[in-house]
Amino acid sequence: MHVTFVGAGALGRVYGARLLASGEQVSFVVRPARVTETSSFVIEQVNGARRRDVIERPVRVADVPRSTTAILLAVRFDQLEGPDPVVDRLRAAPAVPIVALTPLLPRQRAQLDAAVWRHVVPGMPSVSGYVDDRSVVRYWLTKVASTLLDDPAGADGATRAAIEEIARRLDRAGISAHLERDVAQLNVGTTIAFFPLVAAIDVGRGVDGVLTDKELLATVLDAARECDVLGKTIGKVASWAYLLMRFVGPYTLKPGVAMARSLAPESVRFVETHFGPKLHGQHLAMGDTILALGKEQGQPMPALTRLMDTLRAG
């Protein structure tokens, strides 16, 4: 199987390196200016087996190769908005299955389907990772969660078989994956519910900036409650996310962060690196989309509005 990743960030590199190590052909679509780069991709697993993989000479391409048999979309949310070459490259790609590891909210999913003239399969990654100051991807791969691919109800046999094959290849690469119904709804609900917490890291320029600013913390927690309601209204919040959200509060957040710093300090570094100002553009695009969804549903979201105003002014 020839798997092409549109996007070569932390997520694309982890999935790509794993598939390559298991014998698949892998290419990475990057910006034209980066096609001639020759630097290697190094990924290191933080937990479990602490595995280390190196792609000495990643195949960097400007467009999806004609020999591609599956496309995995792993770009930032904001790269799907506006005039961006990502959609143009997907439109020009061969007619093969496209799995989106990028979180898709309803409008973006509909626009992407229409733009590329085919159904894009929503996915929920089971990998979390970030690029450290050595340009090495450090990642966590949990055994209790699988990468979920949306079971395309009503799809023809060939399409469903192709998605099943992608899941099998990921399994063989050591990343548990399977098809499941309503992944799109899980993706939407969980993404919306968690948004205020991750955007807060950008606003506060780190975890401590959120915890020490009482007004910001109160706004974030109020916005999280608003988003939890909206997420359940238009999607489904994953059970693990629902349980976690129930324990997020002004008196539990600080002890929780302190415990994380003591037991797993790199997890805090991951949160600050991955969700900080680096993703400012994504936070702005996603937050505005969530506010628009709230307006469509007739749900006032004053706390999220305040959070977004602070984010824009940042």
pLDDT tens per residue, range 49-68 = 899 999 999 999 999 999 99
Domain 185-313 sits in CATH at: 1.10.1040
Average pLDDT of every residue of the chain: 90
Average pLDDT for residues 94-102, to the nearest whole number? 93
Q: Is the pLDDT of residue 153 over 80?
A: no
More confident site: 306 or 263: 306
Section 173-198 average pLDDT: 94
When pLDDT is cut at 50, 70 and 90, the band that residue 241 belongs to is low
Instruction: Please give the C-alpha separations between residue 243 and each of 87, 240, 246, 248, in angstroms, as whole numbers.
Output: 36, 5, 5, 9
Q: Residue 44 pLDDT > 70, yes or no? A: yes
Q: Assign 159 a pLDDT band (cuts: 50, 70, 90).
A: confident
Location of each CATH 3.40.50.720 domain in the chain: 2-181
Judged against a pLDDT cut of 60, whether residue 255 lies above it is answered with yes
Is 242's pLDDT higher than 60? no
User: Tokens 């997890």 — which residue?
Assistant: 267
Helix (H/G/I), strand (E/B), else coil: 68: coil
Q: Are 202 and 275 in contact (CB under 8 A)?
A: yes
Say whether pLDDT at 21 is over 90: yes
pLDDT (0 to 100) of residue 249: 62
**Domain 2-181: assigned CATH number:** 3.40.50.720
pLDDT at residue 263 is higher than 90: no
Q: Which residues contact 227 (CB under 8 A, 6 or more apart)?
A: 192, 193, 194, 195, 196, 290, 301, 304
Strand, helix or coil for residue 71: strand
* Structure-model confidence comparison of residues 277 and 166, the more confident one: 166
The DSSP result for 131-195, as a single string, is E-TTS-EEEEE-SS--EEEE--TT--HHHHHHHHHHHHHHHHTT--EEEETTHHHHHHHHHHHHH
Confidence of residue 278 (pLDDT cuts 50, 70, 90): confident
Confidence of residue 184 (pLDDT cuts 50, 70, 90): very high
Domain with CATH 1.10.1040 in the chain: 185-313
Please state, as a whole number, how many other Cβ atoms lie within 10 Å of the Cβ of residue 174. 15
Q: What is the pLDDT of residue 49?
A: 87
Model confidence at 155, pLDDT cuts 50, 70, 90, reads low
Q: Select from 50, 96, 103 the least CA-distant residue to 78.
A: 103
Angle 264-267-273 (CA atoms, 0-180°, nearest 5)?
A: 150
- State mean pLDDT over 145-172: 87
What is the pTM (predicted TM-score) of this model? 0.92
Instruction: State the average pLDDT over residues 234-245.
Output: 73
